[in-house]
């Protein structure tokens, strides 16, 4: 590999670049941890596993996140589902109105029922004569 031009000149005014020190590798904790991992690897031991409680807590958290995503997906309804719900509500309203009318007719006094029957028969007769 070719050296840069500034390495060839012996100019004392230039500042020579130096390799930066990695603070992680120079730390005592990092060196001890690395040495321990190497020794465990030579012995064939796996790194220390997480405690059982921590595993359970992480699993619960993952399950909870998955459940929330599923609920959000169910809450987001498509346009078709929204329209179907609107139609269903309209049909339910119409059924309630029909039931109310039917109850009112059943609870109406006898003379009101007879009057309605007379009107219907009168209209039927008028239509039959026109035909």
Q: Does some domain include residue 11?
A: no
Residue 77 has a pLDDT of 77
- 91: domain range? 80-130
Q: Does some domain include residue 116?
A: yes
Report long-range pairs for 64-68 (Cβ below 8 Å, ≥24 apart): none
What's the Rg (C-alpha) of the chain?
44
What is the value of pTM for the model shown? 0.31
Q: Does some domain include residue 121?
A: yes
Q: Does some domain include residue 4?
A: no
Residue 47 has a pLDDT of 61
Q: Does some domain include residue 86?
A: yes
| Cα–Cα distance, 35 to 29 (Å, whole number) | 10
Q: Does some domain include residue 57?
A: no
Residue 59 has a pLDDT of 93
Q: Does some domain include residue 126?
A: yes
Residue 95 has a pLDDT of 96
Residue 9 has a pLDDT of 64
Residue 67 has a pLDDT of 95
Q: Does some domain include residue 40?
A: no
pLDDT tens for the chain, 131 residues long, are 667 665 666 777 778 788 888 888 888 988 898 898 888 888 877 666 777 888 889 999 999 999 999 888 877 877 888 899 899 999 999 999 999 988 887 777 777 778 888 888 888 888 888 87
Neighbouring residues of 124: CB distance < 8 A, sequence distance ≥ 6: none
Residue 60 has a pLDDT of 95
Tokens of 101: 């009318």
Number of residues that make up the chain:
131
**How many domains would you assign to the chain?**
1
| Cα–Cα distance, 103 to 97 (Å, whole number) | 10
């Amino acid at each position: 590999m070719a050296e840069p031009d500034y390495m060839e000149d012996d100019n004392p005014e230039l500042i020579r670049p130096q390799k930066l020190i990695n603070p992680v590798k120079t730390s005592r904790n990092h060196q001890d941890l690395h040495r321990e991992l190497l020794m465990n690897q030579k012995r064939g031991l796996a790194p220390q596993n997480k405690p059982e409680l921590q595993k359970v807590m992480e699993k619960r958290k993952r399950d909870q996140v998955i459940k929330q995503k599923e609920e959000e997906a169910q809450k987001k309804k498509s346009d078709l589902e929204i329209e179907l719900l609107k139609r269903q509500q309209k049909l339910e309203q119409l059924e309630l109105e029909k039931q109310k009318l039917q109850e009112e007719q059943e609870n109406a006094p006898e003379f009101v029922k007879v009057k309605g029957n007379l009107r219907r028969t009168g209209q039927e007769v008028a239509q039959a004569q026109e035909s």
